[in-house]
Amino acid sequence: MKLLIDAGNTRVKWALWDGHQLQPQGAVAHADIATLAAPWAALPLSAVLAASVAHEAVRQAIEAASPLPVQWQRAQAAAFGVRNHYRNVAEQGADRWLAVLGARQRYPAQDVVIASAGTALTVEALTAEGDYLGGLILPGYRLMLASLAQNTANLDRAAGHACAFPQGTEDALASGAIDALCGAIQRLQQRLAAHTGRAPRLLLTGGDAALLQPHLPPDARMVDNLVIYGLASVADGS
């Protein structure tokens, strides 16, 4: 059994992989990583694979809690039939590359847009031929609201509901953030469609995927743990 870990800028998600099935185990805040040491020590593990885009201290806390040496994964130029067109793969977040590999494993040979709605929103474009063309980075929902709260005199307040014609500040805040996030996703989707001449599938993952889904076309599909599915592909070497 292999332990798979996805350390984002807000939370550390982990799952177990037996070579056939993924068993998601949950998520903890960075401050609580040490609480995972005891449950991890009780597992019959053969390997630990992880990806982190968080601060170095998070990486060290995971290493301290892990009963085995951690096999840290990075973005690659190519793997499993996917070619990464990022100019410098060393600067790319491992989570973005692994989400692309996870999408490729779950939806082989399809044009896919992958929206990972976490601390940041990342949106990736992957063609049926296996070309990962690149993608977008923008602040996630919470970060957008926090930046307005911190840099204006009047906007430090809870967001309301997203709606078509917001008629109050709270709703205007929620609607602005949702439209920015969903607009970015749909623009990349349109560009990939224009590039390939085919309509891509849209996959949503990350902690805010459910927040965005009602505001996107009905065929947008939520797929939990795409980064961890990418780690499972790497763990299997397939």
Ligand X SMILES: CC(C)(COP(=O)(O)O)[C@@H](O)C(=O)NCCC(=O)O
Binding site for ligand ADP (CB under 6 A): 8-11, 27, 118-119, 140-142, 206-208
9 labelled ligand-binding:
yes
Q: Is 26 assigned to a binding site?
A: no
Least distance between ligand X and beta carbon 227 (Å): 8
11 known ligand binder? yes
Both tokens assigned to 134: 């690149």
Residue 118 interacts with K ion (CB under 5 A)? yes
User: In terms of CB distance, is 96 or 104 closer to ligand X?
Assistant: 96
Q: Centre a 10 Å sphere on the Cβ of residue 110 and count the other Cβ atoms it contains.
A: 15
From ligand X, ligand ADP, K ion, none, interface partner of 137 (C-beta below 5 to 8 A by class) = ligand X
**Degrees (nearest 5) of the Cα angle 169, 180, 10?**
90
Decide: 16 and 4 in contact? Cβ < 8 Å. yes
52 binds K ion (CB under 5 A): no
Cα 151 to Cα 121, 168, 172, 194, 201: the distances in Å are 21, 19, 17, 37, 37
Contact with K ion (CB under 5 A) among 73, 76, 84, 116 = 116
Where do the H-state alpha helices sit in the chain?
37-41, 56-65, 94-106, 141-151, 169-196, 209-212, 226-236
Catalytic residue among 95, 111, 171, 236: 95
- Quickly count: other Cβ atoms within 10 Å of residue 107's Cβ: 17
| 99 vs 111 by CB, closer to ligand ADP | 99
For tokens 């623009």, the residue is 187
105 vs 145: CA distance, rounded Å: 34
Nearest Cα to 195, choosing from 68, 80, 75, 85? 85
Is 205 a known ligand-binding residue? no
119 is in an annotated binding site: yes
One symbol per residue from 62 to 101: x for binding K ion (CB under 5 A), - otherwise; what is it? Answer: ----------------------------------------
User: In the complex, which residues of this chain contact ligand X (CB under 6 A)?
Assistant: 8-9, 53, 91-93, 95-96, 118-120, 122, 137
Q: How far apart are CA 83 and CA 88, in angstroms?
A: 13
Q: Which is nearer to ligand X, 78 or 137 (CB)?
A: 137
Shortest separation between residue 70's beta carbon and ligand X, angstroms: 18
What amino acid is encoded at 168 in this protein?
G
* Residue closer to ligand ADP, measured from CB, 97 or 141: 141
Question: Least CB distance from residue 149 to ligand ADP, whole Å?
Answer: 14
236 is catalytic: no
Active-site annotation, residues: 95
Residues that constitute the known binding site for ATP: 6-13, 119
Give me the residues that bind K ion (CB under 5 A), please. Answer: 116, 118, 120, 122
